Structure 1
Amino acid sequence: MSQTLIAALQNPALYPHPVEGFQVIETHISWVILTGPYAYKIKKPMNFGFLDFSQLSDRAHFCAEELRLNQRLTRDLYLQVLPITGSAQAPQLGGEGVPIEYALQMRQFEGGNLLSTLQANGELTQAHVDSLARQIADFHRAAPVVPDAHEAGTPKAAMAPVEQNFEQIRPFLTDKDDLTQLDALQAWAQSSYVRLEPLLALRKEEGFIRECHGDIHLGNATVIDGEVVIFDCIEFNEPFRFTDVYADVGFLAMDLEDRGLKSLARRFISQYLELTGDYQGLELLNFYKAYRALVRAKVALFSMAPDASGVERAATLRQYRNYANLAESYSAIPSRFLAVTSGVSAVGKSHVALRLVEALGAIRLRSDVERKRLFGTQTAETGLYDASTSEATYLHLHALAAHVLRAGLPVVIDATYLKADQRAAAAQVAESTGVPFLILDCNAPAAVISSWLQQRQAHSDDPSDATQAVIDAQQASREPLSETELLQTRRVETHESGSLDTLVQQIRQRLPGL
């Protein structure tokens, strides 16, 4: 009936709007009929275990769920669920009578605006990634917390699909090297689980298991009317959607890295963390990225036909190995370091720190962001920059830095560090965690600093409230670097791009694992 129905629905007379032409997109779980202004999505009567659309009532329910759930991240994209009545040979869309099927009506958009397509064409920008970070952070903050009584998000529930990946992949492999790699990945996943089990339990207790999207990648995001829109969440399986927020974050980060966009993946993680402050879960990131990479590896194997030719099988195995190698990369122990910026406000410290994020995979901790997270939106005139709030801010930054370093990641703290005791406290964090320490002495001509300050104030989108008066006071009270500190210092002329390039090169030479 299904193929007959899809063919019969390609009749302009059935639609209450102009039809520019018909195109049918078929996936393993649905058909999407494109008409020009609108798209109509019809679910296939399939049962894959993790997904059951076999009964008409199931398809009706999940069409309604898809409409409801995608309203959370879209506006005027998912429109309504329409019953299809009549017969497969002579259907009526939204007609009277007993439904024979259901269609989800959506606003049609240009496939060329998918972020995956923009990326393939070299048109994906930092602005797109920043928009994704903002939307996902806002979405996760607002998403309902999964009730404590629900099994979803418990350590065992988090580990079950990880183990399932290995069980389902192994029968497809015959090559000794592939099997050896899979065994090593499984051993790493199991040892990681043992190490992370207390954190996974804590995340459940503290409400980080939320009703997430479940399928965030570049193929499920597009540009509509100039804005990035995330769509097509998981509606058909609650456990896939009821997860730690880091499962969503890890999927997009893995997808970016799979496409060779490491710097954008790092930028995304950094922006997300600054918006949410969820540094506690950072230790889960590689665990979830590896899981998502192996899901992709498994899907590649599942797509191989039983009668695949030798050429087809080789192509599938190449795809599998690419994802398996990506998963393996997440098990590597990274080179860690702690770097702090030192310089007055508006000298370009944030730009320097972001360069270390994108080039070296550091996690950026920003004093202006964390200060406001601690003390709200006071202004410089009402005490946001007084001695007591500054002391508390640096204590908080150093505690976060120690946590991130113990999670196995390098850190750059974006703060002024004008006082010797502030720098000494940061050096103590590096010593206690056994990592190299670096002071980035940020400098620029006074006229450049003043110009950058004016630009920042004009745009009003920077977390810093520092004024020229604050900068003048910082210059007057700045304590010079000692001879000992100078041995740990790299001078950066923030107005010269070559100075930053040299800095990155020097750190890479000192820490080859980056």
Structure 2
Amino acid sequence: MSQRQADLLNGLKKANAYTHSTYRITVIETHISWILLTGKIAYKIKKPVKFGHVLDFSNLRLRKKFCQKEFMLNKQLCGRMYLGVVKITKIDNTYKLVNLDKMGTSLEFAVKMREIPQKFRMDNLLVFNKINNRILNGLIGKLVRFHNLAYTNITISKHGSPQAMKAKIRENFRTLSRFAKIDSSFEDKLNLFVKNNYKLFDERRKRFRVRDIHGDLYLKNIFFMKGKFYLYDRIEFNDSLRYGDIAEDVAHLAMDIHYHKRERMQSYFISHYINKSNDTSLINIIYFMMCYKACVRAKVSLFRAGQLVNRNQKSKYTKEAKEHFKLARKYMKMF
């Protein structure tokens, strides 16, 4: 983190940076963003990073563009949770989060959201055994409705082709190779499945299974509060990662449920999604997609580990990557 970034974050930890009252200001850091929780409102600031050919937040113009895109994309699945985009400026030597039309030089931009308490995040609910079949059925219903209504066209459909899938696999392992030496059997097995299943990929395209999906659907990106689901943090930074087979969303979430040691719940989720959606060929591609998604999450964990200096924090993310590779290896035997 640069000194400029450290100064900015320190400034935003003070209550006078906000135009509303704050309860307790907490900063959550991911590999590509900082999230400021204030008790009522949350703000998401994009890090000035470039992630291979996948993501580019390297300048202020791009960060503003993708803040605005994130706001627009997430309204569909989150309703009023997303409130808009604000800018960070300095007034009387104090950092301030203000509306875009206010005076002052834009030093940074942030997505403004209604804050939902972290205890309602689905990975936290799962830890405390607060997810039952009734809640899972509600989530499946919301996901099926979203997938049925998600936009598609000829351009989007091409992202579900065997060639596009191979390109996703290649990019993932090319980036992974920057962080660690990876067993080539993962990439080889995934590519072999694609090679042997052109007909399956083409059939799913013809049945309009390739759409503008969520793209990053796992437990941490879902809130459940007062009977409502908020499937937030939809991918905004790369359309080609959001355009894909709906199986990618289902597989990502199923894999993450398994990662949290809930195999029976994972099986329930997959079978009931298939029944609800009538997507009978999903079972033929799901374990391939789960293997691929486990490798994607391993990449994200290794990327985060590479950003950290603290040995314990670094070890946490390295362990996460190993656990995801372990899952990927298990799925390799199932397709």
1:173: Cα distance to partner? 5.5
Show the 5 A alignment for 1:285-434.
285-305=286-306, 318-333=319-334
Distance 1:243 1:184, change over 3 A: same
Amino acid at match of 1:33: L
Q: Partners of 1:3 and 1:187 in 2: how far apart?
A: 42
Contact 2:179 2:306 in 1 (8 A): no
1:314: Cα distance to partner? 7.6
In the alignment, is residue 34 of structure 1 matched against residue 34 of structure 2? no
Show the 5 A alignment for 1:162-241.
162-169=169-176, 182-241=183-242
Contact 2:214 2:234 in 1 (8 A): yes
Where 1:202 maps in the other structure, the secondary structure is helix
- Counterpart of 2:75 in structure 1 is 71
1:284: Cα distance to partner? 1.3
In the alignment, is residue 122 of structure 1 matched against residue 129 of structure 2? yes
In the alignment, is residue 91 of structure 1 matched against residue 89 of structure 2? no
Where 2:39 maps in the other structure, the secondary structure is coil
Contact 2:91 2:104 in 1 (8 A): no
Q: Partners of 1:47 and 1:170 in 2: how far apart?
A: 16
Q: Partners of 1:70 and 1:236 in 2: how far apart?
A: 13
Where 1:28 maps in the other structure, the secondary structure is coil
Q: Alignment partner for residue 138 of structure 1, among 135, 145, 151? A: 145
Q: Partners of 1:314 and 1:34 in 2: how far apart?
A: 26
Where 2:34 maps in the other structure, the secondary structure is strand
Q: Partners of 2:300 and 2:210 in 1: how far apart?
A: 25
Aligned residues: 328
Q: Partners of 2:313 and 2:105 in 1: how far apart?
A: 45
- Counterpart of 2:15 in structure 1 is 12
**Gaps (5+ residues) in structure 2?**
none
Q: Partners of 2:317 and 2:264 in 1: how far apart?
A: 28
- Counterpart of 1:61 in structure 2 is 65
Q: Partners of 2:41 and 2:320 in 1: how far apart?
A: 34
Where 2:50 maps in the other structure, the secondary structure is coil
TM-score computed with the length of structure 1 as normaliser? 0.58
Q: Alignment partner for residue 51 of structure 1, among 34, 50, 55? A: 55
Distance 1:122 1:186, change over 3 A: same
Amino acid at match of 2:297: R
In the alignment, is residue 80 of structure 1 matched against residue 81 of structure 2? no
Amino acid at match of 2:148: R
Show the 5 A alignment for 1:265-276.
265-276=266-277
Q: 1:320-343: CA deviations, max 9, x gaps?
A: 44322311222325xxxxxxxxxx
Where 2:77 maps in the other structure, the secondary structure is coil
Q: Partners of 1:89 and 1:28 in 2: how far apart?
A: 29
Distance 1:110 1:296, change over 3 A: same
Distance 1:19 1:166, change over 3 A: closer
Amino acid at match of 1:64: Q
1:218: Cα distance to partner? 0.8
Distance 1:42 1:167, change over 3 A: closer
Where 1:199 maps in the other structure, the secondary structure is helix
Q: Partners of 1:311 and 1:102 in 2: how far apart?
A: 31
Contact 2:144 2:277 in 1 (8 A): yes
1:184: Cα distance to partner? 3.3
Where 1:160 maps in the other structure, the secondary structure is helix
Amino acid at match of 2:76: R
Amino acid at match of 1:265: Q
1:48: Cα distance to partner? 1.8
Where 1:73 maps in the other structure, the secondary structure is helix
- Counterpart of 2:279 in structure 1 is 278
Distance 1:24 1:301, change over 3 A: closer
Q: Partners of 2:38 and 2:311 in 1: how far apart?
A: 39
* RMSD between superposed Cα atoms in Å: 2.8
1:37: Cα distance to partner? 1.1
Contact 2:46 2:57 in 1 (8 A): yes
Amino acid at match of 1:39: A
Q: Partners of 2:12 and 2:88 in 1: how far apart?
A: 10
Distance 1:46 1:319, change over 3 A: closer
Amino acid at match of 1:239: S
Amino acid at match of 2:122: L
Q: Partners of 2:142 and 2:222 in 1: how far apart?
A: 11
Amino acid at match of 1:212: I
Amino acid at match of 1:155: P
1:289: Cα distance to partner? 0.5
Contact 2:305 2:315 in 1 (8 A): no
Amino acid at match of 1:279: T
TM-score computed with the length of structure 2 as normaliser? 0.87
Q: Partners of 1:203 and 1:309 in 2: how far apart?
A: 45
Q: 1:20-40: CA deviations, max 9, x gaps?
A: 232222222222222211112
- Counterpart of 2:111 in structure 1 is 104
- Counterpart of 1:245 in structure 2 is 246
Q: Partners of 1:118 and 1:277 in 2: how far apart?
A: 28
Where 2:332 maps in the other structure, the secondary structure is coil
Distance 1:172 1:17, change over 3 A: closer
Amino acid at match of 1:7: N
Where 1:76 maps in the other structure, the secondary structure is helix
Q: 1:161-188: CA deviations, max 9, x gaps?
A: 22334444457656xxxx6xx3433332
Contact 1:5 1:88 in 2 (8 A): no
1:238: Cα distance to partner? 0.7
Larger radius of gyration: 1
Where 1:330 maps in the other structure, the secondary structure is helix
